[in-house]
Amino acid sequence: MSAPAPVPLSDWASATAHGRLYIHATGVALDGQGVLIRGASGSGKSRLALELMTLGADLIADDGLWIDTGEAPGSAPFLERPDTATDTIESRGVGLLRAGSICGRAPLALAVDLDLAEPARLPPRRMVTTGEAERALILGAGHPTLAPAIVHMIRHGRAEP
């Protein structure tokens, strides 16, 4: 099975400025590694981030963040907290919760797309790209154990299927 073509992060951007992309997404840092969580309104971005935060992640930003695409050859893309971001995260039906620990910037390690469900039990390697740099992509809609799987993947990696 051949790997699917990487998804350009620029496809998800709603704005660009000075080598950065603005994406309607939520970001957390786990063990210093950035996790980008994107999806339509109501798809569960904040819920997944909150679950990851209870498992040790720090909030970068809820519902909008910048990606420094790392335009210099060999440089990594970074998730960046917007200047206007608050120190809260939304919990539907509960309200705005104080986030606790905040991280301003973290290298992008993983992107999660909550708009799409993974059809394969053992999926092919899916990737996002900023041009030169490629990072792992998980199609996460409806995944019942997504948060602990992400924590484990960030800490221990993923084997080839």
Instruction: Return the CATH number at 122.
Output: 3.40.50.300
Structure tokens at 112: 């999660």
Rounded Cα gap, residues 67 and 20, in angstroms: 5
pLDDT at 48 over 90: yes
What pLDDT score does 122 carry?
93
Q: Which of 110, 116, 127, 14 is nearest to 66 (CA)?
A: 14
Q: Count of H helices and E strands in the chain?
A: 2, 13
Domain of 17, in residue numbers: 7-156
pLDDT at 28 over 90: yes
Confidence at 131, pLDDT banded by 50, 70, 90: confident
Mean pLDDT across the chain: 94
Rounded to 10°, the helix 146-156/45-54 angle is 60
What pLDDT score does 71 carry?
67
Q: Which of 87, 154, 142 is nearest to 115 (CA)?
A: 142
Element (H, E) at 112: strand 105-113
Confidence at 19, pLDDT banded by 50, 70, 90: confident
What pLDDT score does 29 carry?
98
**Would you mind telling me the total number of residues written for the chain in this entry?**
161
Q: What is the dihedral of CA 43, 149, 132, 29, to 10 degrees?
A: 80
Angle at 36 between CA 160 and CA 4, to 5 degrees: 40
pLDDT at 161 over 70: no
What pLDDT score does 89 carry?
96
Assess if residue 2 is contained within a domain: no
Assess if residue 115 is contained within a domain: yes
What pLDDT score does 20 carry?
93
Assess if residue 1 is contained within a domain: no
Indicate the residue type of 94.
V
- What's the predicted TM-score (pTM) here? 0.95
Element (H, E) at 154: helix 146-156
Rounded Cα gap, residues 36 and 12, in angstroms: 11
Assess if residue 91 is contained within a domain: yes
Domain tally for the chain? 1
Residue 95 near residue 48 (C-beta atoms within 8 A) = no
Assess if residue 63 is contained within a domain: yes
